[in-house]
Structure 1
Amino acid sequence: MLIYKNRDIRGVILDIDGTLIDSLSQYHEYFNRGLEEFALSPAPRELLFECLGMGIGLRDILRRVTSSKLEDSVIDKIAKWILAEFVKVDMDVPLLPGVVETLEFLKAEGARIGLATGRASGGAYEWERLEHVGLAAFIDVILTAVEVPNRKPAPDLIVACARGMAVAPADCIAVGDTVADIIAARAAGAIPIAVCTGVDGAEKLKTGVPAAVIDRLDEIMALFQKQRVR
């Protein structure tokens, strides 16, 4: 059994991109290729990551970074181009350090593991992606933004993921790499843990008031182990 700050933890909810999988640099590359395909200027990495950190969807990000009054039909074409091209490389994006060891540890401790991603990809695609990188066997539930009414930072994904694991949100740790992840977890009643392997850095993540900030996912094991010693 996992214990964190005198609370029994039955479920662990994880974001995917920037938390488990090192996909953000490639996403930035293909995002800019999409802009260039339509004769638009590339977006700075910082601007794209700022939007991702707020939980903004692809089409709304495109509206922000182009700073123009593009027709919705053009925005849709750019978004479809980006997604169609990115999916060609998406399955081969590497895992972040310590991911497998962390999932093995959590399963050995009897925790249920759910994934709650802000992607609008759908659960079937995410199961395929996790199968491809060898993580599917660890996971009990996967939910994406299309399966709930409101995206992060709303709590919908965290609440639905906990429900899917048959665990109360208050009995869950929720780990993510954006302020939106942290706010969503806190609003759902879960314990938010910030990890610095994705969109937002430590100082930005602290603005969401996480219970802890870790540099990489496998550091979460020490948090639980320290609690157990005490």
Structure 2
Amino acid sequence: MATDATSKKRGVLFDVDGTLIDSSYFHAMAWWQAFRREGLDVEMSAIHRRVGMGGDRLIQSLVPEPSEDLQENLKSSHSAVFSTFWPSLRTFESARDLLAACSEAGLAVGLASSAQDRDLEVSRRLLDAGSSIDAWTSSNDAKESKPAPDILEACLEKLNLSPEDVVFVGDAVWDVKAGSAIGVPVIALTCGGISEAELRDAGAAEVYDNPRHLLENLENSLIGKLI
């Protein structure tokens, strides 16, 4: 979904889970329980490394030749378990302020999320960012999931912007790869649990601890160069 087409000439795209919302480990737990329900013993650390991929890619990278029924059962179980964690979800410190600062500086703000609609709605309510957000996407907006760039392209289309007009802020290696695929520079945050070294090795242009750390350095960041 989106608001009316923005006339802003530059913008910032934000991943949501693990970037603005402290949810990466809840997703790892939900997938772990989903695998267990199907009799599959998958290490939590292996799951966490893949959070940020689409569910289909995550499953295929951890389960040899999964059947369609198994994939659907796993995704359904993950969704059901993750919903039980909704009351525990919190925004990272200064996430709302970061969105507001970008908007007030004249930049279009897009949530380039591949979450399911109902999970994204929970996140948007938690962010409570109102008019600071110009557009957002969900899993329904992309044919291929990250690290494919489909969700970024969908968000760009809603903002009426081109890759050279934006910066993408994410927390996972898959975010960095998605941005790189279409030439969008990526600012990575380590608050999703991935190390600075891994994010830089993947191609992140800048790395900060969390939204507060990025906000404190906004003027000197890639976002500051857009303003």
Same topology, TM > 0.5: yes
Cα contact 2:170–2:189 (8 A) shared by 1: yes
Change (3 A) 1:136 1:92: farther
> d(CA) in 1 for partners of 2:70 and 2:160?
42
Matches within 5 A, 1:40-51: 40-41=40-41, 43-51=42-50
Q: Verify the 8 A CA contact 1:11 1:173 in the aligned structure 2.
A: yes
What is the aligned partner in structure 2 of residue 184 from structure 1?
178
Partner of 2:3: none
TM-score when normalising by structure 1: 0.81
* 1:43-122 alignment runs, 5 A limit: 43-52=42-51, 55=53, 57-67=54-64, 70-90=66-86, 92-119=88-115, 121-122=116-117
Is this contact kept in 1: 2:137–2:151, CA < 8 A? yes
SS in 2 for 1:207: helix
Counting only pairs closer than 5 Å after superposition, residues 215-226 of structure 1 correspond to structure 2 as 215-226=209-220
Q: Once superposed, which parts of structure 1, at least 4 consecutive aligned residues long, lie more than 4 Å away?
A: none
User: Once the two structures are superposed, what CA deviation does each residue of 1:14-36 show, in whole Å capped at 9, x if it has no partner?
Assistant: 00111000111112222222222
Where does residue 207 of structure 2 map in the other structure?
213
Q: What residue is the counterpart of 1:143 in the other structure?
A: 137
- Higher-Rg structure is 1
User: For residues 165-184 of structure 1, what are the alpha-carbon distances to aligned partners after superposition, in whole Å with 9 as ceiling and x for unaligned?
Assistant: 12222111111111221122
Distance in 2 (CA, whole Å) between partners of 1:156 and 1:66 is 24
What residue number does 1:10 align with?
10
1:223/1:186 Cα in 2 relative to 1: closer, same or farther (>3 Å)?
farther
1:70 and 1:102, CA in 2 relative to 1: closer, same or farther beyond 3 A?
closer
**Are 1:35 and 2:35 counterparts?**
yes
Which ranges of structure 2 fall in alignment gaps of 5 or more residues? 1-7
Deviates more, 1:177-186 or 1:13-22: 177-186
Q: Is the Cα contact below 8 Å between 1:140 and 1:165 reproduced in 2? A: yes
Is the 2:96–2:127 Cα contact (8 Å) retained in structure 1? no
Q: TM-score scaled by structure 2?
A: 0.82
Give the gaps of 5 or more residues in structure 1.
Answer: 1-7
Q: How far apart in 1 are the matches of 2:68 and 2:27?
A: 22
The RMSD of aligned alpha carbons is 2.6
* Kept in 2: contact 1:116–1:142 (CA 8 A): yes
Determine if contact 1:191/1:211 at 8 Å carries over to the other structure: yes
Residue 190 of structure 1 aligns to a residue whose secondary structure is coil
Q: Is the 8 A contact 1:156 1:188 kept in 2?
A: no
Once the two structures are TM-superposed, the CA of residue 112 in structure 1 deviates from its matched residue by 1.2
